[in-house]
Amino acid sequence: VKRENSALASFGPGPEMQIPGVVAAYDPPNRIVFTGDERDATLAFEWLVEARDGGSCIVRLVNTGFGTGDDWDAQYDGMADGWQLFLLNLQLHLRHFRGRHGRSMLPMGVLPGPREAAWHTLLAALGLPGSLSVGERVSTAGSGAPALAGTVVRADSWRLALLLDEPAPGTAFLAAEGMGDMVGVSVWSYLYGDERDAIVERDEPRWRDWLAAQSPQP
């Protein structure tokens, strides 16, 4: 988000992940408010940062919106799930990679739903067990997918968070999101280290091709 009246909130690749709007309030490092543009004026995000003792802080996110219908409900629920992922990544960055610069790799695809089925299909295609616990080390070795390995830091019924050691130090988030006949799946990673740029340039197209190959062909 830029410090201008007109701004763009980018949540990943693709036009559907770009939200045009305006910066309604800007008080660094304490508060920023982003609201949707005239086409989506009911949507607003507010971030609040409050200092605490010991060099820590509290980060609060308020996501507000008003709409009607099942599509709006699904969109809002999807935002709530997505914010959990982004806030967890912020925690992991500060805990393990504070002061370091990373590079994101955000490939996405679609699999047949419902979400539970898509999630288990994704895990199986990656060579990962259907049930995982925090502290386990997992790897895509032998699955035909690009290299990805690390320790589980969160495991839910629709997402998995990893602290990576391959292909580079970093974090990764696997998720199945949405409802219906086709469900969005993602294998997002945030890489650090001197080789991060070269790895992203090499692996991002590989991940896109791999995810596309898992989707049913017309």
Q: Is the pLDDT of residue 2 over 60?
A: no
Q: Is the pLDDT of residue 41 over 60?
A: no
**Taking the CA of residue 199 as centre, how many other CA atoms within 13 Å lie in the half-sphere pointing to its CB?**
21
Q: Calculate mean pLDDT across residues 180-206.
A: 95
- Measured CA to CA, the distance from residue 179 to residue 173 in angstroms comes to 19
The two structure tokens encoding residue 140:
């895509």
Q: Is the pLDDT of residue 194 over 70?
A: yes
- Determine the number of helices (DSSP H) and then strands (DSSP E) in the chain: 3, 12
Q: What pLDDT is attached to residue 3?
A: 42
Q: Calculate mean pLDDT across residues 166-181.
A: 92
Q: Is the pLDDT of residue 165 over 50?
A: yes
> pLDDT exceeding 90 applies to what percent of the chain?
56
Angle formed at CA 161 by CA 163 and CA 102, multiple of 5 degrees: 55
- Measured CA to CA, the distance from residue 185 to residue 177 in angstroms comes to 6
- Residue 100: name the closest of 43, 53, 168, 158 by CA: 168
The two structure tokens encoding residue 168:
């580079």
Q: Which of 17-31, 42-56, 59-73, 117-131 has the lowest mean pLDDT?
A: 59-73
Task: Give CA separation, 186 vs 105, 124, 173, 211, 217, in Å.
Answer: 10, 14, 8, 8, 18
Q: Write the pLDDT tens digit of every residue in 76-118.
A: 666 676 788 888 999 999 999 999 999 999 999 999 999 999 9
Q: Is the pLDDT of residue 218 over 70?
A: no
Largest CA distance in the chain: 57
Whether pTM exceeds 0.85? no
Q: pLDDT band at 74, cuts 50/70/90?
A: low
Q: Write the pLDDT tens digit of every residue in 113-155.
A: 999 999 999 999 999 999 999 999 999 999 999 999 999 999 9
